[in-house]
Amino acid sequence: MANPRVILVFSGKRKSGKDYVTDMLQELLGDSVSHIMKLSAPLKKQYAIEHNLDFERLLDTTEYKEKVRVDMIAWGERKRDEDSAYFCRLSTETSPGFHKPVWIISDARRKTDINYFKETYPSATMTVRVTADIATRENRGYVFTRNVDDAASECDLDGESFDLVIDNNGDSAKLAATLQSLKQSISSKLTV
């Protein structure tokens, strides 16, 4: 069986709960068949190296990352202008989960991210958008930040169509049912 068999490319606004949803899905699928890959991880690692910052702290949700977010976004845009698929390739090819049949890309932010997977792995790729209303996102700590929430990293996928939209407004039963259905769909693709 060639890998990957299924690539789930997740996207969503800040504080929509992408990491929460992808963590839950990965737990349902199990470590033996799936792996979460973050497109932002190699970006943050290289940015940390070039700017003498703590890479581990750039991965969390603390104020440390927020202080450099605007500059990090601009730096990432310059890298993408040179090679739009750079971070997609880097995050998948260096991932310890490269050999697993299910890849969960937890943080697509641009059309070029989605296009990379659709063009490179056309039969395996499924796009998933995680949504949450503004009140829910604010309860999770979201505060509009100029040059972040109105930048391409947050807005490039607005208005796009997705194979699946997951409502993550806090209804845990609805979310669990949606993820269980998605798991069944994935499992059927793995047995073909």
Q: What is the distance between the alpha carbons of residues 153 and 34, in angstroms, rounded to a whole number? A: 26
Q: What is the distance between the alpha carbons of residues 163 and 149, in angstroms, rounded to a whole number? A: 24
Which element (helix H / strand E) includes 105? strand 102-105
Question: How many residues are there in the chain?
Answer: 192
Q: Which residue has the tokens 């991880």?
A: 41
Q: What is the mean pLDDT of each run of 10 residues along the chain (192 residues)?
A: 87 96 97 94 89 88 82 89 92 93 96 96 97 96 88 90 97 97 96 76
Q: Whole-prediction pTM value?
A: 0.88
- The pLDDT, as a whole number, for residue 2 is 64
Q: Which of 153, 167, 186, 143 is closest to 40 using CA atoms?
A: 153
Taking 3-state DSSP, the helix, strand and coil percentages for the chain, each rounded to the nearest 5, stand at 50, 15, 35
Q: What is the distance between the alpha carbons of residues 83 and 90, in angstroms, rounded to a whole number? A: 11
- The pLDDT, as a whole number, for residue 1 is 45
Which element (helix H / strand E) includes 24? helix 18-29
**Backbone region of residue 70 per phi and psi (left: phi > 0; alpha: psi in -120 to 50; beta: other values):** alpha
Q: What is the distance between the alpha carbons of residues 75 and 183, in angstroms, rounded to a whole number? A: 36
Q: What is the distance between the alpha carbons of residues 59 and 166, in angstroms, rounded to a whole number? A: 24
